[in-house]
Amino acid sequence: MSHPDLFGDAPADDAAEAQKNVSTEAALQTPAQQAARLRALLHHHAHCYYTLDAPEIPDAEYDRLFRELQALESAHPELLTPDSPTRRVGGRVLDSFPTVTHRVPMLSIRTETDNEATGAEAFDARIRKELGLLETDPPVVYVAELKFDGLAMSLRYENGVLVQAATRGDGETGEEVTGNIRTIGQIPLRLPQDAPAVLEVRGEVYMRRYDFEALNARQRDRIAAGIKGEKTFVNPRNAAAGAVRQLDSSIAAERPLSFFAYGLGDMTPAADGGPQWTSHYEMLQQLKAWGFPVAEQTSCVNGAAGLVAFHQRMAAERDALPYDIDGVVYKVNALALQARLGFVTREPRWAVAHKYPAQEEMTTVLAIDVQVGRTGKLTPVAKLAPVFVGGVTVTNATLHNELEARRKDVRVGDTVIVRRAGDVIPEVVSVVLERRPADAAQFTMTEHCPVCGSLAEREEGEADHRCTGGLFCSAQRKQAIWHFAHRRAMDIEGLGDKLVDQLVDSGQVKTLADLYHLEQSTLSVMDRMAEKSAVNLLEALEKSKNTTLGRFLFALGIRHVGEATAKELARHFGQLEAIMVASEEALLQVADVGPVVAHSIRSFFDQVHNREVVQALRDAGLSWAEGDALAPTEMPLAGVTVVLTGTLQSMGRDEAKEKLEALGAKVAGSVSKKTHYVVAGAEAGSKLDKARELGVPVLDDEGLAVLLAGLKP
């Protein structure tokens, strides 16, 4: 894309051509001409990168041009200009910020206290009343914008060059922060030639959520490294405000700030050659054309219905935005109507901020409880003094795990900031340390499950503690039953999620063994369970009693023990009792069993109640063939890796897999150089292509039959 003469002093050729001929031109130009050319190129590419989001050159090439300009300005200090891109990296350290008197006050906008759709309707009704409009008159046209959660800023340009940036302050007087604002890549340092001689652009400095998280990650690294004076930031707004108010602009340059434009202050009047806009939206589009970022969600809408729709749409999209907003803003679009409406107590009648319910509030931690999840995960939860945040009353906030609770150092009695975004579980953002009680004790995770009393363990390399109660823990009961009934476990057809919920909630099933004592009369009265369904389930339960040791082990739901590992354990030990008493060292001799899995198996069977559940299942009639342990090398297909793909004619793939594994083969899900055979049925896809590419032997149903006979084709 070509942008000729974008920045006034650019050469007649477009930027790309100028860049291509940089060496030739440099040899023919004076240092001043070279500096002007480099500034124009860098301004152009910054505009493409930050505003258009369409970079034309790689970062490395931009950096090369930047260094070239730096070297030129270093050799010729008189060439350094206020709009030079090199000014973005920070200048001298200030003792304090100079004050700035705003030529046009930075007025605040009235806030609509009604957070619902009726708040938008009330604003439209007031506007129509002030304008004397009848019900039969057409709807008022508004500009609907986002209300950014950042820091208001005024940017003053004279003759197209950024000469001053100032905070809102008290509206009349603010602080000059030009050096820090120059470090923001989205803010143009120089405007095109058609910009007015004087232009003050009003907008918001903010920090994107991703940039905020990255900044806090760097801060935590600095704190961990023992660097004094470093801290993490509570939220993106505080981080942005802190960056803008850095007396050392080189520090501000390290903080990833962004900017959106939404209004004007002082400007060359139309009578003196300034712009002659008729609407607010027209003005915003011109600012965008001059290189200022304008939020893409900004829209023209008609009447109350349009305002309500915008408010609701942004509420739905709010959590997905890459930055924080705390509401939306409505402005009458026609500048002539704005003039008619005027101001009241220094607030414009023609605009209003319509906020959403707060997503962060302060409250007090009353207690810290530990909750047990369906998989045994222990989660510390802060019990809070009720606080209205994000549209609901919050009384609980997750602390995630012990490590996170300690990192944030949340204690009972603390005053904390709580955040709730959309449907996300509320969480504690930070502690207000100056309000901490003197006797507040540090949180320590319980050593035992608060539900069943089993040992609570945190495996090496993991953040979460887990209850080792497994089958015994009532908090994990539903999850344990769902897993037990899985098709690849006990294969109890008809025992779905809804029925499990009813059986557990009604107290009919407290342990896995209770499943085998269910009666038809009990099942028939359950929701969605007719007499035939009850009979079918009882038959499925009876059928499941005849199983294999591998399936039974997998059905127990031992953490880290998947289907393949369960089968390896069954092959290696041959008998359940041998597995239950095996030491971690003995378990490590099993293929695919490492230290974590061995420890998990040992911990499971060390719990008396788990052994009791296993015995109760055996007493209920569950059985399987047991025998002496069979060494892997004695099995006919030991060491052979097979991949199944497509539809087999002789049997289903699950059956083929089970038979191959019974002969010692490993059935893998993907083809690699280590694959010995690929068994391909009808409509085999990419796995067959991969096998041919790697030269792996491909077998059909007849070849599979040879394998299942214990022979190698």
Question: Could you give the CA distance from residue 685 to residue 702 in angstroms, rounded to a whole number?
Answer: 19
* 673 is annotated as an active-site residue: no
Mention every residue, 6+ apart, whose C-beta is less than 8 A from residue 428.
365, 382, 397, 398, 399, 408, 410, 416, 417, 418, 419
Compute the half-sphere exposure of residue 392: CA atoms within 13 Å on the CB side of its CA. 13
Compute the half-sphere exposure of residue 149: CA atoms within 13 Å on the CB side of its CA. 20
CB atoms within 10 A of CB 12: 8
Question: Could you give the CA distance from residue 386 to residue 693 in angstroms, rounded to a whole number?
Answer: 64
Q: How buried is residue 250: exposed, middle or buried, by Cβ count under 10 Å (0-12/13-18/19+)?
A: middle
Mention every residue, 6+ apart, whose C-beta is less than 8 A from residue 206.
148, 149, 150, 151, 236, 237, 240, 257, 258, 259, 260, 323, 324
Question: Could you give the CA distance from residue 263 to residue 107 in angstroms, rounded to a whole number?
Answer: 11
Cα–Cα nearest to 184, from 199, 169, 162 = 162
Question: Per-residue DSSP letters for 218-287?
Answer: HHHHHHHTT-TT----SSHHHHHHHHHT-SBHHHHHHS--EEEEEEEEEE--GGGT----SBHHHHHHHH
Mention every residue, 6+ apart, whose C-beta is less than 8 A from residue 290.
188, 191, 192, 195
Question: Could you give the CA distance from residue 155 to residue 159 in angstroms, rounded to a whole number?
Answer: 13
Cα Rg for the chain, rounded, in angstroms? 35
Per annotation, catalytic residue among 20, 147, 408, 659 = 147
- Looking at the chain, the number of H-run helices and the number of E-run strands are 26, 24
Enter the DSSP assignment of 77.
Answer: G
Q: Which amino acid is at 70?
A: Q
Question: Could you give the CA distance from residue 60 to residue 371 in angstroms, rounded to a whole number?
Answer: 51
Q: Are 408 and 376 within 8 A, CB to CB?
A: no
Q: Which amino acid is at 234?
A: V
Q: Which amino acid is at 205?
A: V
Question: Could you give the CA distance from residue 296 to residue 158 in angstroms, rounded to a whole number?
Answer: 27
The alpha carbon dihedral of 284, 290, 293, 295 has a sign of positive
Angle, vertex CA 258, rays to CA 254 and CA 260, nearest 5: 160
Phi-psi region of 271 (alpha: psi -120 to 50; beta: other; left: phi over 0): alpha
Question: Could you give the CA distance from residue 228 to residue 600 in angstroms, rounded to a whole number?
Answer: 42
Catalytic (active-site) positions: 147
